[in-house]
Structure 1
């Protein structure tokens, strides 16, 4: 029969997990991936978030075998250090360390019989050995000197020339040595010598294949370097002893090594060194079929969803159906595929591969889904599919070349809303601007007259992205999952949050739990200053109607760990200052003189008048409107600095940290961005025209319109004092008002409740209510609190020595729970002596750390629409950051953490449901 491609159905890469060492072996549970590495580690990843949630330094040598048993509560690992370790999957602590009395070399494989509580291992010295765990407390305790780590190695500890042996380096605490658990020595009677005439590479346990035997009767199947497969009974003379039942040989005189085994019911697949896969019927002991696969040496096989997957040395995977037709072939890795696993997660088939290219790849195998199972796909699955397509549109508003993609992206967004039952419109925003997408989910029709309205604002346009220099990990307009994050331009700013909000509203709408109207206003010009947005909203005011609350999700956490709520943004004025001479461009040697008014010289002198030492803006009255720091706001800064420094002491002094944040958030500033001059670019030209781009960042209570007028008046006045014959032009290119939200209103209360419920419910039960006590400690201390902490209590903070707290420095505050636990242990415990903890765990959890309440933060950036929407609809606004400080929005490798995206959806759902009930 021909094995040509009957249907080239390729899987989609869901996620790629990157490590720094080869991935040699892996196994999967219902919610985790366990991977063994070349460096002796066992890595544990969440199948939900794809984040690394555990790390065990398990062995001194490469991990060669993993076996997950006992309802996924224990995992067995074998390695090149001659040891089999047994681990608790809940705590990741070692329970037992099993070793042989012989020097058996590498332990290539391990499996476990739950029925007889016996561990089996296949070794380099051709033996199969076993240990009955029911005997662990009845056997004498082994001597520590008998442990393989302390025995002489036949090769490495052999005598050299002259009969001299190099002394062994005695290391009191080897960092690659696992600690804890009970040491178990295999009885010499529990060893089957020469189980194969070659290395024992692979083993599996099979049930129900013996005639006239109970259905739960187990047999052990092993494959070796001799090219033979052997089947062993486990019902010998007790204690797990094996007895050879029969061998499976394909008739070759010198068979190639059997490198991999996998069972599919009573059918056994054996992968060989030369690229053949034999199919055996274990009930009849017949060779059913030999498949010639194009993966090189067959190093791994998996069965699932009615398909056989093979992987090998050339990095490709081939997939066969039950008629043994090859239906797909795809390049999975850049190196050898050394291991694989298949699992069906509630109707979602997942295929996982590991390679010596140091990566784990997670594949979505769509054609392994039965028709009836298609309904089991979750909203989260569809959300990621929608986001993948959304990111693929190059909606770059600043480049006219992408005008078509902007419109296609807007059309796709509208189709998503429409498919979920929302009423939608594409609102024209001028001939040259991208449209505004309007969508409305209507709540319970029985409450039409008293339904509340929540307006969600976002933007689908993005900053330009270019990968010509190879700075992106993947192509920027292709959504890529890597190490628990989703990479792609716009995935954090702002396409991911938009999709999360839409799917939250849609889920409530589908379940008929939506009691309010959710109005989506998504523009396509935010990255260009929201051109035409205000006019479009005013023109369609009747369509949109009244609004009770406004919600945004267009910002980021302060660090990478603690959820935040944003209650303030700076405004901005962008201006162009131009000085122009009546004379043309001149040569400085021919025409230059002290009597000549030079445009660039005038411009430099003029700009020098704008700011003094340490950035102090010299425009009269510039700082007068700025609000003073209140005790309530001081308490927010105290909460921020306490939280961040507890997680990362390297952030230093809390006063300096708070001062640095205040400079970014509540202090106005002025920046000179760039200069432009006329004439050719050489060193002798006196330009006729000089131009500079400047910006002023404003803070709440400053008016963008008033400051614009003050800026123009000040520049004209200062220019007149120069007595120059040149002409000054000041153009206000763009301005956006600052914004300050009310953290006491019901939308912030609901957001805080949603965050605590989603991210840390166990803390929520014992936390003191933030809103109930409304900064009680700060009020009790009054202004004395600010004096005691030496934190400035005014709007302008001239502190030039303060180290700036940037998103890059704050993102490094991400600390794993176990790191905090380790840091709190006594030094003796950390050193690994007798008081050392039982576990060699470097980390036990990467799930989001629980928290008492979110951080209330302000931001230095500007969102032009937020203050406009508040004024236009006379409704309070709130900002829910979803991304982390390390998301690299507007930069190369923009990303969003998958956990953040999904929990953001949970918070939106909570707010959309609960806010109208207040």
Structure 2
């Protein structure tokens, strides 16, 4: 849409596009036809800022004539005209708090000023001579030589044609924040639900020529007065001016001179990312449909996705793009609107953009699925810096879910800008406060990468899809599905007024990277978290695909790097190789070869000494496991051999060498200067990781010294996680057991036909088991995936099973993997932990096509609800 003057500001309502021009007009276009329906001649100077009220009934315009006009969007008549008694210069921007009915002005004289429209009829009427059009100018009306002042000629111009009518309102001195910035106040916006748990609480965000962003609280009892909450970038001296701002949930984008965009997390006030654009000085930023749009002085628009990758760059205007906004037209199609100094308003079709789902407080299973689908859509991959923004967005989304159900929430920062930890507390019924217990639920929102470059996933890994009763998506099982089930369980109890305990959620974002920063953050905020009676987590899987389990033990882990380095450079084996040369790779291999003996037995002195013997109670658990598994899958063979195999993976320590790396070119003739190996030790309860790490280091140096080589050895402990062993006879395990029996009911016995099919499908796995006396989770899952036996039966009346049904309690299992935080939480809070696996053995966590059965998601919600309601207070 063409005009005869530059377009400096644009804003879009549900029915109209409003564009402010250099000539002081406001152009009004229909959003249906894009035809011009009105030209409002509203200002003597350029229209620099436009803003709509939340209900879109009022349009605010600020300009170079030192005035803010307020217009009705229904009849386009002026309702108010607002001005300051100070000479503020140009008013670059205007914002409006709908809750406080207060207008905020960002001014050239570095001030922020405001007017509370609730006081418009109780303040004294303004002096007509105080209007900016009637006041003398310090420059143009100053005294000349000899003190003579030239009389101002009487203007024949009656002012803009539509700038008539309405109430005149003066901003008095007490409604001014002088030097809000040490530079022009270029941009402002109103944000909601940022600094508190109240989603409607508003703050004002401003950016200025000093390169600083200020967050201002709004005091409704003092006429909307502002007070500083936080300053962003004030510690970065010499930062370029902030010319534009855009908000996406809890993420704030600031556009600066020289084409830089800073990405701020407003929950932690941390700078997440800095982007360099091709648009030059960033005069406008817009967010919508999952994309960020940047515009600048060269007429280009650069479009970024959520990973801050450029997905499009296009020439929007011949010269500068001065204004932009994202909106949806009358047909709910996304559009991008730009205005430039080529005197045009352009409407761009951006069909690849998406809209956000509506917020809803229903707690049905269908709504649980919707929430989980949104949660999975965030690529919260903690191991890849490209997804740092998505990790923050995913955390912000999860926090909003907690808030939606009434939790008090905090974002706990971690050192080195690792992903934050979400602390969310649901308070139990206050009437029962003296006996109120406190249950901590631990989980993680970060996931393993899933790029799907080879197309091995049957659907987009970050778009949750329901297929054959399973939900496919990265994080569905590990660990987003269980987290969402636990939240909805609490929501159910709140809705029934049956939450008698405090439920505290600690959800971290670095578990897949060894829980970086978790320990320090929890210790620094221990008083805020409060006392804890019980700890519950749900971060693993059943032993097969049919029988619910409870996990009472985890192995710990030590990851180490062993490096041998020679004083000589990389050499050629034909030229320099000889028996007298101490080669780094040879020395490394000889050293590592001494770590283990026959059948993998670790040779480190004292390594096995702390390991606890097998108790009779635990031995019975293995009997329950093997009887149940062999009954469902006879091809697993001898129960005693199966029990031995499980013990080796669960309760025996082990050592694994993972990979070798060498220096120099990758060809067969190089003698490398440096050789490095990565190894891990899986520890079992009662083995202290620090002690074992020192034993490993000492033993490697002892072996290496015996080689009498000129090379040098370095042993680095990269990561440690303590093993964990729970008390499977305590109250939390017994409460979980009762809940599982009640929710899952009896287990169906396999029919002869089902057993025959299982035998044929799992025969190869069984033969492999017989040959090597070992099993894997894949083997176990293969024997229980038949549809005839897949769905668990519901609970039987009076606890009496039907014929062919087995009433069994859950299998008590241990696992060979590690969860670094669980033993730390037990020690830190002096509270016992229990582990409820939600998924099946075939969930493929960390692999392609990760999934979670829909029945498991819904039943996990029911189990959590029972536990949160019934778990007694620890004595």
Q: Which band: TM-score by shorter chain?
A: 0.5 to 0.7
Please give the secondary structure, in 2, of the residue aligned with 1:717.
helix
**Any idea what the Cα deviations from partners look like across 1:589-610, whole Å, max 9, x if unmatched?**
1111111110000000000000
Per the alignment, residue 705 of structure 1 pairs with: 690
Q: 2: CA distance between counterparts of 1:626 and 1:385?
A: 46
Q: 1:723 to 1:800 in 2, by over 3 A?
A: farther
Please give the secondary structure, in 2, of the residue aligned with 1:643.
helix
Q: 1: CA distance between counterparts of 2:711 and 2:859?
A: 59
Per the alignment, residue 73 of structure 1 pairs with: none
Give yes or no for the alignment of 1:400 onto 2:385: yes
Give yes or no for the alignment of 1:480 onto 2:465: yes
- For residue 463 of structure 1, the aligned residue among 448, 453, 456 is 448
Give the drift of 1:761: 6.4
Give the drift of 1:818: 5.7
Give yes or no for the alignment of 1:915 onto 2:865: no
Give yes or no for the alignment of 1:491 onto 2:492: no
Q: 1:659·1:802 contact (CA, 8 Å) conserved in 2?
A: no
**Any idea what the Cα deviations from partners look like across 1:532-591, whole Å, max 9, x if unmatched?**
000000000000011000000000000000000000000000000000011111111111
- For residue 864 of structure 1, the aligned residue among 814, 820, 823 is 820
Per the alignment, residue 633 of structure 1 pairs with: 618
Q: 1: CA distance between counterparts of 2:360 and 2:601?
A: 62
Q: 1:901 to 1:851 in 2, by over 3 A?
A: farther
Per the alignment, residue 811 of structure 2 pairs with: 855
Q: 2: CA distance between counterparts of 1:706 and 1:551?
A: 28
Q: 2:549·2:812 contact (CA, 8 Å) conserved in 1?
A: yes
Q: 1:647·1:815 contact (CA, 8 Å) conserved in 2?
A: no
Per the alignment, residue 848 of structure 2 pairs with: 892
**Any idea what the Cα deviations from partners look like across 1:66-101, whole Å, max 9, x if unmatched?**
xxxxxxxxxxxxxxxxxxxxxxxxxxxxxxxxxxxx
TM-score (norm 2): 0.54
Give the drift of 1:816: 5.6
- For residue 442 of structure 1, the aligned residue among 419, 423, 427 is 427
Q: 1:762 to 1:610 in 2, by over 3 A?
A: closer
Q: 2: CA distance between counterparts of 1:389 and 1:494?
A: 14
Please give the secondary structure, in 2, of the residue aligned with 1:513.
coil
Give the drift of 1:868: 0.2
Give yes or no for the alignment of 1:599 onto 2:569: no
Q: 1:760·1:851 contact (CA, 8 Å) conserved in 2?
A: yes
Give the drift of 1:916: 2.9
Structure with higher RCO (Cα < 8 A, 6+ apart): 1
Q: 1:442·1:516 contact (CA, 8 Å) conserved in 2?
A: yes
- For residue 759 of structure 1, the aligned residue among 744, 754, 771 is 744
Q: 2:843·2:851 contact (CA, 8 Å) conserved in 1?
A: yes
Q: 2: CA distance between counterparts of 1:528 and 1:423?
A: 27
- For residue 547 of structure 2, the aligned residue among 552, 555, 562 is 562
Q: 1: CA distance between counterparts of 2:629 and 2:746?
A: 20
Per the alignment, residue 565 of structure 2 pairs with: 580
Q: 1:889 to 1:375 in 2, by over 3 A?
A: closer
Q: 1:575·1:730 contact (CA, 8 Å) conserved in 2?
A: yes
- For residue 805 of structure 1, the aligned residue among 747, 770, 775 is 775
**Any idea what the Cα deviations from partners look like across 1:92-143, whole Å, max 9, x if unmatched?**
xxxxxxxxxxxxxxxxxxxxxxxxxxxxxxxxxxxxxxxxxxxxxxxxxxxx
Give yes or no for the alignment of 1:695 onto 2:680: yes
Give the drift of 1:762: 9.6
Q: 2:375·2:394 contact (CA, 8 Å) conserved in 1?
A: yes
Q: 1: CA distance between counterparts of 2:618 and 2:595?
A: 30
Please give the secondary structure, in 1, of the residue aligned with 2:416.
coil
Q: 1:562·1:851 contact (CA, 8 Å) conserved in 2?
A: no
Q: 1: CA distance between counterparts of 2:581 and 2:737?
A: 63
Give the drift of 1:850: 5.7
Q: 2: CA distance between counterparts of 1:731 and 1:432?
A: 24
Per the alignment, residue 878 of structure 1 pairs with: 834
Q: 1:905 to 1:415 in 2, by over 3 A?
A: same
Give the drift of 1:815: 6.2
- For residue 722 of structure 1, the aligned residue among 680, 686, 707 is 707
Q: 1: CA distance between counterparts of 2:770 and 2:692?
A: 25
Q: 2: CA distance between counterparts of 1:687 and 1:637?
A: 49
Q: 1:760·1:850 contact (CA, 8 Å) conserved in 2?
A: no
Give the drift of 1:447: 2.6
Q: 1:657·1:802 contact (CA, 8 Å) conserved in 2?
A: no
Per the alignment, residue 263 of structure 1 pairs with: none
TM-score (norm 1): 0.52
Residues 726-765 of structure 1: pairs in structure 2 closer than 5 A: 726-760=711-745
Please give the secondary structure, in 2, of the residue aligned with 1:916.
coil
Residues 160-199 of structure 1: pairs in structure 2 closer than 5 A: none
Q: 1:515·1:916 contact (CA, 8 Å) conserved in 2?
A: no
Q: 2: CA distance between counterparts of 1:707 and 1:612?
A: 18
Q: 1:484 to 1:440 in 2, by over 3 A?
A: same
Q: 2: CA distance between counterparts of 1:586 and 1:393?
A: 48
Q: 1: CA distance between counterparts of 2:837 and 2:864?
A: 11
Residues 306-455 of structure 1: pairs in structure 2 closer than 5 A: 378-455=363-440
Cα RMSD of the aligned pairs, angstroms, is 2.6
Q: 2:473·2:850 contact (CA, 8 Å) conserved in 1?
A: yes
Per the alignment, residue 612 of structure 1 pairs with: 597
Q: 2:486·2:864 contact (CA, 8 Å) conserved in 1?
A: yes
Q: 1:411 to 1:378 in 2, by over 3 A?
A: closer
Per the alignment, residue 290 of structure 2 pairs with: none
Structure 1, unaligned stretches of length 5 or more?
Answer: 1-326, 329-366, 764-798, 821-847
Please give the secondary structure, in 2, of the residue aligned with 1:431.
helix
